[in-house]
Copies of this chain bind each other. A is one copy, B any other.
Amino acid sequence: MSPNQAFQRALMPDAQSSKAAIHEFIALAHAVDVAAFIERLEPVQALQHLRSLDLAKKTAVFAYLDLSSQVAFSNLLPHDELASVASLMASDKQVDLFNQLEPAKQQQLLQDLGEEQRNDIRRLSAYAEKTAGALMCCEYVTLAANLRAKEAIAQLRQEAPEKETIYRSYIIDSDRKLIGALRLHTLILAADDKPIMALMETDPVKVGLNDSQEAVAHVINRYDLTAVPVVDENDRLVGIVTHDDAADAMQQETTEDFHKTGTVEPLMQSVMKASMRLLYKKRIVWLALLIFGNLISGAGLALFEETILAYVALVFFLPLLIDSSGNAGSQSATLMVRAMATGDVVLSDWRKLILRELAIALALGLTMAALVFPVGLMRGGTEIATVVALTMILVVMVGSIVGLSLPFLLHKLKLDPATASGPLVTTIADAVGVIVYFSIATALLNI
């Protein structure tokens, strides 16, 4: 099987496939592929296929559906069937679904679930979105500190069927305080009577309940973990975040950053499935805001009406100069936004970076001035060429500095650095560029 998703789609039965082919696919394919297939069917047909699965597979497929599809099916399934599916889902997925249901459905589901799960849902649904608390699940193994290797393995064997991961167990004291983590890898290598206190990793890497999902993903990635324990303010173990959930969260964060970089408000769902109305709403906000920025450039130009009328050739270079400034600024902004997202650059690095940026921007500006000078000569003579070249150096530097600094400034103001998108930087750089260009022109051309 190829990993290519297009190919995976091609493997799926389509509307023309025989009933037998569809049944074979649904029975044999991985739950995530079945979920992708079901999402492409009409609701009635989809529900039929979903309900035809045995409970374990039904749950696995259901858990892989988009949250919006899960909600839709929740409203179509009989309440006891929904409860039996939900009760088998990992607690983080349970809560994600629960939070999206209508109040009446929520009450029904709570009633249908056992007490332990009811309490877990109540507790987990209270955590803010995009935090470790919202991302964590409760299906992990805790071990008492006084066990020996053999006893620990016995306990793992007993609890494994219900746990999301048993590859790391957590050792807690009587107060649920986290005192160690134990890899299954280490455990199965150990002699039977070895105390787990001697095997465990003390002071394991952990995250706090209110840490952002981005920070959690960074920790899992940095320390190459399969899961990270989550502790409350008293250092008590309250959950774990697994590497696959963290990877999903990271992908979502990255997509948001991408969208912001293109001045699209984060979509939070598939572009393919998003409605036109939603896409319009997510795009118009910034487009409209940037109009006002651009009107400043226009107002700037109006100030120099006489200069324009005297040397209309200056206008021919306007798109070139303001775009070059914006392009250089976009480059710096993109480099910084990404470096901040990966943790490569932090707030205090600005001072170090700004001097280097000035030097790089000067070199870029000089190169570009050298490239446009001959064009200026051809089109407008020595004077125009000089104005264009000088302006080029200055606006590339201004654009670069704006692009480099804006993400830092936004971060300092507790806003997302990714908001320092190319278009925003370009708009600011344009307004400055217009003023710089015609000021130089007015001065040098003696108007």
Instruction: Identify which of B248, B346, B423 contacts A330 (C-beta below 8 A).
Output: B423
Residue contact A423 to B251, C-beta cutoff 8 Å: no
Residue contact B375 to A263, C-beta cutoff 8 Å: no
Q: Using Cβ atoms and an 8 Å threshold, which residues of chain B touch A291?
A: 320, 324, 368, 371-372
Residue contact A331 to B264, C-beta cutoff 8 Å: yes
Q: Report how far A295 CA is from B422 CA in the complex, Å.
A: 21
Please choose the segment from A67-75, A81-89, A118-126, A307-315 that sits at the chain B interface, where 4 or more of its residues have CB less than 8 A away: A307-315
Residue contact A271 to B156, C-beta cutoff 8 Å: no
Q: Nearest Cβ in chain B — how far from A267, in angstroms?
A: 8
Cβ of A287 within 8 Å of any chain B Cβ, yes or no, is yes
Residue in B closest to A154 when the chains form the complex, CB atoms: B188
Residue contact B290 to A223, C-beta cutoff 8 Å: no
Cβ of A279 within 8 Å of any chain B Cβ, yes or no, is yes
Known: A259-B338, A334-B258, A347-B6. A221 touches B207 (CB 8 A): no
Q: Which of A156-190 contact B (CB under 8 A)?
A: 156-157, 160-161, 165-167, 184-185, 188-189
Q: Which of A1-58 contact B (CB under 8 A)?
A: 1-6, 9, 28, 30, 32
Residue contact A345 to B271, C-beta cutoff 8 Å: yes
Q: Report how far A264 CA is from B337 CA in the complex, Å.
A: 13
Cβ of A205 within 8 Å of any chain B Cβ, yes or no, is yes
Cβ of A244 within 8 Å of any chain B Cβ, yes or no, is yes
Instruction: Identify which of B189, B208, B254, B337 contacts A160 (C-beta below 8 A).
Output: B189
Q: Using Cβ atoms and an 8 Å threshold, which residues of chain B touch A258?
A: 257-258, 261, 334, 337-338
Residue contact A251 to B331, C-beta cutoff 8 Å: no
Please choose the segment from A95-103, A104-112, A297-305, A439-447 that sits at the chain B interface, where 4 or more of its residues have CB less than 8 A away: A297-305
Q: Report how far A259 CA is from B334 CA in the complex, Å.
A: 6
Cβ of A117 within 8 Å of any chain B Cβ, yes or no, is no
Instruction: Identify which of B6, B218, B224 contacts A5 (C-beta below 8 A).
Output: B218
Cβ of A363 within 8 Å of any chain B Cβ, yes or no, is yes
Cβ of A137 within 8 Å of any chain B Cβ, yes or no, is no
Count residues on chain A whose CB falls below 8 Å from chain B CBs: 127
Cβ of A319 within 8 Å of any chain B Cβ, yes or no, is yes
Q: Report how far A92 CA is from B104 CA in the complex, Å.
A: 53
Q: Using Cβ atoms and an 8 Å threshold, which residues of chain B touch A397?
A: none
Q: Which of A265-314 contact B (CB under 8 A)?
A: 267, 270-272, 276, 279-280, 283-284, 286-288, 290-291, 294-295, 297-299, 301-302, 305, 308-309, 312-313
Residue contact B287 to A327, C-beta cutoff 8 Å: yes
Known: A5-B218, A422-B330. A315 touches B287 (CB 8 A): no
Q: Nearest Cβ in chain B — how far from A227, in angstroms?
A: 10
Q: Nearest Cβ in chain B — how far from A250, in angstroms?
A: 8
Instruction: Identify which of B6, B294, B308, B426 contacts A346 (C-beta below 8 A).
Output: B6
Residue contact A223 to B259, C-beta cutoff 8 Å: no
Cβ of A233 within 8 Å of any chain B Cβ, yes or no, is no
Residue contact A338 to B371, C-beta cutoff 8 Å: no
Cβ of A364 within 8 Å of any chain B Cβ, yes or no, is yes
Residue contact B3 to A219, C-beta cutoff 8 Å: yes
Residue contact A319 to B271, C-beta cutoff 8 Å: no
Cβ of A356 within 8 Å of any chain B Cβ, yes or no, is yes
Q: Report how far A435 CA is from B126 CA in the complex, Å.
A: 56
Cβ of A339 within 8 Å of any chain B Cβ, yes or no, is yes
Known: A287-B324, A291-B324, A346-B9. A211 touches B335 (CB 8 A): no
Cβ of A344 within 8 Å of any chain B Cβ, yes or no, is yes
Mask of A205-241 contacts with B, CB within 8 angstroms, 1/0: 1111001000110110111101000000000000000
Residue contact B316 to A301, C-beta cutoff 8 Å: yes
Q: 12 A-B Cβ contacts within 8 A?
A: A1-B205, A3-B218, A9-B346, A32-B223, A157-B189, A224-B244, A264-B334, A270-B344, A287-B368, A288-B368, A298-B320, A309-B309
**Among all A-B residue pairs, the 3 with the closest Cβ atoms:** A262-B334, A5-B343, A297-B319
A4-B215, A262-B335, A291-B372 are known contacts; what are 10 more A-B pairs with Cβ within 8 Å?
A: A167-B185, A243-B244, A247-B247, A258-B338, A261-B334, A263-B330, A272-B349, A286-B327, A301-B316, A422-B422
